[in-house]
Structure 1
Amino acid sequence: MTRHLAADAARQTDWTALQNFAALRGQLRVSLTPVCNIGCWFCHNEADTPPRLTRADRTLHHRPRTYRAEDFLTVINTLRESGLKRVYFTGGEPLTSPLARDVLTGLAPAGVDGSYTLITNGTRVRHNRAWLNHAPLDKIKVSLHYFSDATFTAIAGTRLPVSTVLDGIDAAQEMFERVELNCLLQQENAHEIRPILDYALARRLPIQFIELVGTDFNTDRASSALPADDLVAYLRTLTSEEHVEIAGVGQGRRVFRIDGVEVDVIHRDLGRHHVGQCGPCPLRTKCVEGFWALRVDHAGGIQPCLLREDLRLNVNNLLSKPDQLAAAVAEHVTAFTEGTL
């Protein structure tokens, strides 16, 4: 297709659904690798095979990587130009990817209305500090679901000490102004929720507590889910500054401010955002998230729904045609929201 015809096709594309999704603060989540150096039991691995399963069964494998660093950058830049300004880098553990350095240091400036966030388990931040310090990231978000070696082992199946994660948080704070924490509420860490909260407040780190989202990968551990009610009640004894945010996409959240530090709770009873495709979806009863992210994987896929791999769009053949790539994603999102995908 000539450049003129490609531009013509792009003009005929209905961009409304994609632009609305972006305006509602929808995320572009870029999974640099499905590989991780730990194996948390609840990990959905952005719809790839979770590390704990590949460790337990050597016949299971992650999707084979097809992307080079420049392919990731092509997709990111193309979709950012299409309106998706909030980019999150995930894994697996993104800092285990051999492409992490070239991708993260090769990013175009985020601009005043954009942002780049690295989501990490923290264990490799110090190791990658020499180059990570030069990446144009706006924020590092570290997962802190444990506060002792025993709990780290129970949750992540690792022999690493939890001090490795805490040192990673220190290293992140040395490099970046914005560092945040997230913590999944579960029976395994119920006894450490308050110490984790105290740590965040003492370090003046915003923290998000999250109720478990059930997936096909963690159904055998559904009893580990810990409701947020007790935490919410405790937070109300610490502050009267509380409000609820349900705008945009994704789950609603309760936001508390304690001595100037934001603590928010992803609370399943605050509602969720679903779109057309979700109406007849056979997995809707299992879904508590709705459509809040477009997930890019290292095998050329773009997926609007965590639980539906059959809705994954492969764009490998469009990497050399950014206009067509953007149009294909816009049409995919339109079909998803209209329930015709």
Structure 2
Amino acid sequence: MTPRCNIACFFCHNEDDIPPPLTRADRSRQPRARVYQAGDFLTVIASMMAAGLKRVYFTGGEPLNSPVARDVLTALPPSGLDSSYTLITNGTQVRTHQEWLTQTPLDKIKVSLHYFSDESLRAIAGTHIGIGTVLDGIAASQEMFERVELNCLLLKQNTHEVQSILEFALNRRMPVQFIELVPTDFNDGRADTAVSAEGIIGHLRTLTQDEHIEVTGVGQGRRIFRVDGVEIDVIHRDLGRHHVGQCGTCPVRAKCVEGFWALRVDHAGGIQPCLLRGDLRLDVKDLVKESGRLASAVAGHISQFTEGTL
């Protein structure tokens, strides 16, 4: 939706665009300018769903920072039985936009909760916004939608709070995903902040014996627990990733963050199948008025990617 954000988490990669922390440090480093208007986003979504796409995730930056967020999210066609719309947000602006968010057909809100105190929020996100604002955003989300989930990146800055975040999720019966930090060019300087998932896995095993592993088709392998009926996912690098043809000769495969599982549509009219390979980004802004050609062009690009011929 937008590369802009009201906070600046140090690990933000912004999917091959300039992330907020870099722009904050050097104002000459700006992300791509927005090209798409609300109607363009809606055309792309409708075209891709008509061609078989099932799940749509609205991300950023912070998607609620986008000037077209309201016009897009309130105009989405209702999702079908086998499709869904998910808003992924830092939670700080949910209460502000609650009135119109209730008018959207969103199926789910997923809130990033990498912190559980003002101190860890400031250390990770470089903001003076208080943790109370984030937690209130989660409460507002639960007031609007039946399905609210959390995700938490495992870091040295929040190690002492991870179990509290888990308890918070379980008490409110919210699924939560714990994710290991994978070093990329965007966060190489902070690679020493990464924490292994073994600690949270060990703790979850004291709470439940309901555990299984899912690998195929999900991009990055995940370990899934159920605690009193609440699903807890752990994204664990040792479980491998879902690679396809283009990945076989990829020069940055060793740094692969999540494998292949999604298409990334950006605000500047690009679509790409890989987080780390901006050279594989397909510019489709001139096709957005021709939905048939758009879907065909994207399908051809993905076929070449999966076959390794890009």
Bucket of the pairwise TM-score, normalised by the shorter protein: over 0.9
Which residue of structure 2 lines up, in the alignment, with residue 70 of structure 1? Answer: 39
CA distance in 2, matches of 1:140, 1:176: 7
Q: Partners in 2 of 1:204 and 1:300 — Cα distance?
A: 38
Aligned residues, how many? 310
Verify the 8 A CA contact 2:110 2:148 in the aligned structure 1: yes
- The answer to whether the 8 Å contact 2:3/2:20 transfers is yes
Q: Distance in 2 between matches of 1:125 and 1:306?
A: 27
Query: 1:309 is matched with which residue?
Result: 278
- CA-to-partner distance for each residue in 1:79-125, whole Å, 9 max, x for gaps? 01111110000000000111000000010111111000000000000
Alpha-carbon shift at residue 264 of structure 1 (Å):
1.0
What is the aligned counterpart of 1:284 among 253, 258, 264? Answer: 253
Taking the aligned partners of 2:82 and 2:174, their CA distance within structure 1 comes to: 23
Separation in 2 of the partners of 1:49 and 1:231? 32
**SS in structure 1 of the partner of residue 151 of structure 2:** strand
| Contact 2:216/2:242 (<8 A) preserved | no
Equivalent position to 1:80, from 29, 32, 49: 49
Show CA shifts across 1:257-310 (max 9, x none).
Answer: 111111110111112111111111111111141111100000000011010111
**3-state DSSP of counterpart to 2:300:** helix
CA distance in structure 1 between the partners assigned to 2:283 and 2:215 by the alignment: 32
What TM-score, normalized to structure 1?
0.90
1:138 lines up with 2:107 in the alignment: yes
Q: Supply the distance in 2 between the matched residues of 1:47 and 1:193 (Cα, whole angstroms).
A: 29
Match of 2:126 in 1: 157
Equivalent position to 1:327, from 296, 300, 304: 296
Distance in 2 of aligned mates of 1:71 and 1:231: 42
2:75 alignment partner AA: G
Residue in structure 1 matched with residue 220 of structure 2 by the alignment: 251
Secondary structure at 2:263 match in 1: strand
Deviation at 1:214, TM superposition (A): 2.1
CA offsets per residue over residues 116-144 of structure 1, 9 Å max, x none? Answer: 00000000000001100010000000000
CA deviation digits over 1:225-246, x for unaligned, max 9?
1110111011100111111111
Q: 2:16 aligns with which of 24, 32, 47?
A: 47
2:162 paired residue number: 193
Point out which structure has higher relative CO (alpha carbons under 8 A, 6+ apart).
1
CA offsets 1:214-233 (integer angstroms, 9 cap, x no match): 22110111111111011101
SS in 2 for 1:269: helix
CA distance in 2: counterparts of 1:119 and 1:202, whole angstroms = 21
Q: SS at the partner of 2:294?
A: helix
Q: 1:234 aligns with which of 203, 206, 215?
A: 203
- The structural deviation recorded for 1:213 is 2.4
Match of 1:95 among 42, 64, 67: 64
- Which residue does 1:24 correspond to in 2? none
Quote the residue 1:182 is aligned against. Answer: 151
Structure 2-normalised TM-score? 0.99
Distance verdict in 2 for CA 1:105–1:206, change over 3 Å: same
Pairing 1:273–2:242 present = yes
Tell which structure's C-alpha radius of gyration is larger: 1
Give the residue type in structure 1 aligned to 2:230: V
Q: Do the aligned residues in 1 keep the contact of 2:63 with 2:69 (CA within 8 Å)?
A: yes
Q: Find the partner of 1:60 among 9, 19, 29.
A: 29
Deviation at 1:177, TM superposition (A): 0.3
Gaps (5+ residues) in structure 2?
Answer: none
Q: Which residue of 2 aligns with 1:172?
A: 141
| Structure 1 stretches lacking a partner, 5+ long | 1-31
Q: Which runs of 4+ in 1 moved over 2 A?
A: none
Q: Give identity over the alignment, percent.
A: 68
